[in-house]
Amino acid sequence: MKKIQIKELIEKIEGEAELDFTFRGGVIEDVRINFGFYRGIEEILQGKDAWDALVITPRVCGICNHAHLIAAVRAIEDGYRSAGITLTLSPKAQKLREFTLACELIQNHIKWLYMTIIPQLEAYLKIESEQNHAMKATYLSSTITRALAIFSGQWPHSSYAVPGGVTCDPTHLDLMQAEALIDESIRFFEQVVTGMSLEAYLSLTSVSQLHRVEADLGRLMHLIGSHGMAASGQSYDRFIVFGESMLSSSGKSIATAVSKVDPRYVEESVQEGTVAKAVSYKKRLYETGPLARGMVAKRPIIKSLHKRYKDAMLTRIFARVNEVGLLLAQSKRLLGEIVVDEPSCTLDMETRCVDFEGYGVVEAARGSLIHRTKVSEGLIKRYEIITPTQWNLSHGTEEEDGIAVHAMVGAKSIQEATFIFRTFDVCSVCTAQ
Amino acid sequence: MDQVQHSKPKLLWLQSITCNGNTHSFLNHPDLFSILSHFEVVHHPVLESDYTIADLTALKVPCDILILEGSFVEKGLTKNGVEVSQMIAHYGNEAAHIITAGTCATFGGIFKQKDPKHISGFCFDHEQQTKRYEQFASKLISLPGCPIHPRWLSYVLMMLSRGHDIALDTLHRPVELYGYTVHTGCTRNEYFEWKIDTKGYGLKEGCLFYEQGCQGPYTRGSCNKILWNDTSSKTRVGTPCFGCTEPYYPKNRLFVTRTNMGIPATMPLGVPRRAYLTLTGVVKSFKIKRFSQRLLEYDQ
Q: Which residues of A touch B79 (CB under 8 A)?
A: 9, 16, 36
Do the Cβ atoms of B239 and A153 come within 8 Å? yes
CATH 3.40.50.700, chain B: domain bounds = 10-175
CB B58 within 8 A of CB B181: no
If you measure CA to CA, which chain A residue comes closest to B146?
A157
Residue B1 distance to chain A (closest CA, Å): 37
Is CATH 3.40.50.700 what the domain over B10-175 is classified as, yes or no? Answer: yes
pLDDT tens-digit series, residues A53-70: 999 999 999 999 999 999
Q: Which of A103, A110, A120, A167 should we substitute to test contact with B (largest number of B Cβ atoms within 10 Å)?
A: A167
How sure is the predictor about A278, in pLDDT bands with cuts at 50, 70 and 90?
confident
d(CA A162, CA A73) in angstroms, rounded, equals: 6
CATH topology of domain B180-286: Cytochrome-c3 Hydrogenase; Chain A, domain 2 (4.10.480)
Task: Give the per-residue pLDDT at A36.
Answer: 75
Name the amino acid, one letter, at A401.
D
Q: pLDDT tens digits for chain B (300 residues)? A: 444 556 899 999 999 999 999 999 999 999 999 999 999 999 999 999 999 999 999 999 999 999 999 999 999 999 999 999 999 999 999 999 999 999 999 999 999 999 999 999 999 999 999 999 999 999 999 999 999 999 999 999 999 999 999 999 999 999 999 999 999 999 999 999 999 999 999 999 999 999 999 999 999 999 999 999 999 999 999 999 999 999 999 999 999 999 998 899 999 999 999 999 999 999 999 999 999 999 998 865
Q: Which residues of A touch B199 (CB under 8 A)?
A: 349
Task: Give the per-residue pLDDT at B191.
Answer: 97
How sure is the predictor about A273, in pLDDT bands with cuts at 50, 70 and 90?
low
If you measure CA to CA, which chain B residue comes closest to A51?
B255
* Average pLDDT over every residue of A243-257: 95
pLDDT tens-digit series, residues B103-123: 999 999 999 999 999 999 999
- DSSP 3-state assignment of B173? coil
Residue B2 distance to chain A (closest CA, Å): 34
CB A157 within 8 A of CB B192: no
CB A69 within 8 A of CB A57: yes
- The residues, ordered by sequence, that sit 6+ positions from A70 with a Cβ below 8 Å of its Cβ are A97, A101, A161, A360, A362
Asked if A166 reaches chain B (Cβ–Cβ under 8 Å), the answer is yes
Helix (H) or strand (E) holding B78: strand B78-79
d(CA A215, CA A191) in angstroms, rounded, equals: 7
Residue B7 distance to chain A (closest CA, Å): 22
Name the amino acid, one letter, at B293.
Q
Asked if B82 reaches chain A (Cβ–Cβ under 8 Å), the answer is no
Residue B182 distance to chain A (closest CA, Å): 13
Q: B173-211 burial by CB neighbour count: b if 16+ within 10 A, else e?
A: bbeebbebbbbbbbebbebbebbbbbebbbbbbbbbbbb
> Left if phi > 0, otherwise alpha if psi is -120 to 50, otherwise beta: which for A211?
alpha
Asked if A148 reaches chain B (Cβ–Cβ under 8 Å), the answer is yes
Residue A407 distance to chain B (closest CA, Å): 24
Task: Give the per-residue pLDDT at B293.
Answer: 93
pLDDT at A251 over 70: yes
Task: Give the per-residue pLDDT at B300.
Answer: 56
How sure is the predictor about A52, in pLDDT bands with cuts at 50, 70 and 90?
very high
d(CA A175, CA A169) in angstroms, rounded, equals: 11
Domains of chain A: 3-432 (1.10.645.10)
Q: Please report, rounded to a whole number, the percentage of residues in chain A having pLDDT higher than 90.
A: 87
Task: Give the per-residue pLDDT at B1.
Answer: 43
HEC letters along chain A = CCEEEEEEEECCCCCCEEEEEEEECCEEEEEEEEECCCCCHHHHHCCCEHHHHHHHHHHHCCCCHHHHHHHHHHHHHHHHHHCCCCCCCCHHHHHHHHHHHHHHHHHHHHHHHHHHHHHHHHHHCCCCCCCCHHHHHHHHHHHHHHHHHHHHCCCCCCCCEECCEECCCCCHHHHHHHHHHHHHHHHHHHHHHHCCCHHHHHCCCCHHHHHHCCHHHHHHHHHHHHCCCCCCCCCCCEEEECCCCCCCCCEEEECCEEECCCHHHEEEEECCCCCCEEEEECCECCECCHHHHHHHCCCHHHHHHHHHHCCCHHHHHHHHHHHHHHHHHHHHHHHHHCCCCCCCECCCCCCCCCCEEEEEEEEECCEEEEEEEEEECCEEEEEEEECHHHHHHCCECCCCECHHHHHHCCCCCHHHHHHHHHCCCCCHHHHHC
Name the B residues in 182-211 with CB < 8 Å from any A CB.
199-204, 211
* Alpha helices (H) in B37-181, listed in sequence order: 53-57, 84-94, 103-107, 109-112, 133-136, 150-161, 175-178
* Average pLDDT over every residue of A195-220: 98
> What is chain A's length?
433
Residue A156, preceding peptide bond in cis (omega within 30° of 0)? yes
CATH 4.10.480.10, chain B: domain bounds = 180-286
pLDDT at A406 over 80: yes
